[in-house]
Amino acid sequence: MNGETGRRKKNDTFTVRIEDMSEDGSGVGKCDGYIWFIKDAVVGDVVEAKVMKTGKSYGFARLERVLTPSEKRVVPPCPVARQCGGCQLQAMSYEAGLAFKEKKVYENLRRIGGFTDLRFAETDGSVRAAAADGEETESGMIPLYPIMGMDHPWRYRNKAQIPFGSDKNGDIVTGFYAGRTHSIIGHDDCLLGAEENSRILSIIKQYMRENHAAPYDEETHSGLVRHALIRKGFRTGELMVCLVINGRRLPAAERLVSALRALPGMTDISCCVNTDRTNVILGREIISLYGPGYITDYIGSIKYRISPQSFYQVNPVQTEKLYGTALEYADLTGTETVWDLYCGIGTISLFLAQKAGRVYGVEIVPQAVADARENARINGLTNVEFLEGRAEEVLPQQYAQNHIRADVIVVDPPRRGCDTACLETIVEMAPRRVVYVSCDSATLARDLKYLCGHGYELKKVRCCDMFGWTGHVETVCLLSQ
Q: What is the pLDDT of residues 404-437, one digit of tens each?
A: 889 999 999 999 999 999 999 999 999 999 999 9
CA–CA separation, 429 vs 362, rounded Å? 16
138 band by pLDDT with thresholds 50, 70 and 90: low
Q: How far apart are CA 292 and CA 286, in angstroms?
A: 12
Residue 376 lies in a domain: yes
User: Mean pLDDT score of the chain, rounded to an integer?
Assistant: 93
Residue type, 135: E
Domain membership flag for residue 273: yes
**Rounded-to-integer distance, Cα 356 and Cα 332, Å:** 6
The residue count of the chain comes to: 481
**179 pLDDT exceeds 80?**
no
Position 142 in a domain: no
Judgement on whether residues 165 and 290 belong to the same structural domain of the protein: yes
Q: What was the pLDDT predicted at 392?
A: 86
Q: Using pLDDT thresholds of 50, 70 and 90, give the confidence band for residue 7.
A: low
Q: What is the dihedral of CA 8, 9, 14, 16, to 10 degrees?
A: 70
Partners of residue 387 on adjacent β-strands? 362
Residues 204, 279 within the same domain: yes
3-state SS record for the chain: CCHHHHCCCCCCEEEEEEEEECCCCCEEEEECCEEEEEECCCCCCEEEEEEEEECCCEEEEEEEEEEECCCCECCCCCCCHHHHCCCCCCCECHHHHHHHHHHHHHHHHHHCCCCCCEEEECCCCCECCCCCCCCCCCCCCEEEEEEECCCCCCCCECEEEEEEEECCCCCEEEEEECCCCCCEEECCCCCCECCHHHHHHHHHHHHHHHHCCCECECCCCECCEEEEEEEECCCCCCEEEEEEECCCCCCCHHHHHHHHHCCCCEEEEEEEECCCCCCCCCCCEEEEEECCCCEEEEECCEEEEECCCCCCCCCHHHHHHHHHHHHHHHCCCCCCEEEEECCCCCHHHHHHHCCCCEEEEEECCHHHHHHHHHHHHHCCCCCEEEEECCHHHHHHHHHHHHCCCCCEEEECCCCCCCCHHHHHHHHHHCCCEEEEEECCHHHHHHHHHHHHCCCCEEEEEEEECCCCCCCCCEEEEEEEC
CA distance 222 to 17: 47
Q: What is the mean pLDDT of residues 149-163?
A: 97
Q: Are residues 338 and 221 in the same domain?
A: no
Q: What CATH code is carried by the domain that includes residue 362?
A: 3.40.50.150
- Residue 136 pLDDT greater than 50, yes or no: no
Please indicate, yes or no, whether residues 403 and 442 belong to a single structural domain of this protein.
yes
> What is the per-residue pLDDT for 438?
98
Rounded mean pLDDT, 457-465: 98
pLDDT at position 133 is: 46
The stretch 32-51 carries a mean pLDDT of 96
User: Residue 75: its pLDDT value, please?
Assistant: 97
Q: Are residues 208 and 356 in the same domain?
A: no
Same domain, 203 and 334: no
**Regarding predicted confidence, which is higher, 130 or 20?**
20
pLDDT tens-digit readout, 88-113: 999 999 999 999 999 999 999 999 99
Quick check: is 171 in a domain?
yes
Containing domain of residue 54, as a range? 3-72
User: Confidence band (pLDDT; 50, 70, 90) for 1?
Assistant: very low
**Distances, alpha carbon 68 to alpha carbons 41, 45, 71, 72, 106, in Å:** 11, 6, 9, 12, 29
Boundary of a domain, candidates 53, 72, 91: 72
pLDDT over 90 (residue 181): no
Q: Residue 325 burial by CB count (10 A; 0-12/13-18/19+): exposed, middle or buried?
A: buried
Query: Do residues 455 and 332 both lie within one domain?
Result: yes
| 135, pLDDT greater than 60 | no
CATH number for the domain that contains residue 54: 2.40.50.140
In a shared domain, residues 46 and 188: no
Residue among 163, 226, 150, 154 at smallest CA distance from 194: 154
Question: What's the whole-number mean pLDDT along residues 26-30?
Answer: 97
pTM here? 0.91
Mean pLDDT of 248-258: 97
State the CB neighbour count (10 A cutoff) for residue 168. Answer: 6
Q: Is residue 306 part of a domain?
A: no
| Domain count across the chain | 3
* 3-state SS class at 48: strand
Assigned domain for 129 exists: no
In a domain, 54, yes or no: yes
For the cut 70, the answer to whether the pLDDT of residue 337 exceeds it is yes
Q: What does the angle CA 26 – CA 40 – CA 169 come to, to the nearest 5 degrees?
A: 125
Mean pLDDT over 321-342 rounds to 96
Q: Which pLDDT belongs to residue 182? A: 80
Domain boundary among 272, 299, 326: 299
What percent of the chain stands above pLDDT 70? 96
Same domain for 352 and 461, yes or no, is yes
* CATH code: domain of residue 174: 2.40.50.1070
Q: Give a yes or no: residue 146 inside a domain.
A: no
The pLDDT-based confidence of 139 (bands split at 50, 70, 90) is low
Last residue of a domain, one of 29, 50, 72: 72
257 lies in the same domain as 326? no
Round to whole Å and give the CA distance between 273 and 283: 5
Given a cut of 50, whether residue 134 has pLDDT beyond it is: no
At 319 the three-state DSSP class reads helix
Same structural domain, 355 and 476: yes
- pLDDT per residue as tens digits for the range 207-232: 999 999 999 999 999 999 999 999 99
Radius of gyration of the chain from its Cα atoms, rounded to whole angstroms: 24
The helix/strand/coil state of 362 is strand
Contact 226, 216 (CB under 8 A): yes
pLDDT exceeds 60 at position 270:
yes
Give pLDDT, residue 325.
97
Active site residues: 439
Q: From the centroid of its chain, how far is CA 339?
A: 23
- Mark whether 327 and 411 lie in a shared domain: yes
Residue 153 has pLDDT above 80, yes or no: yes
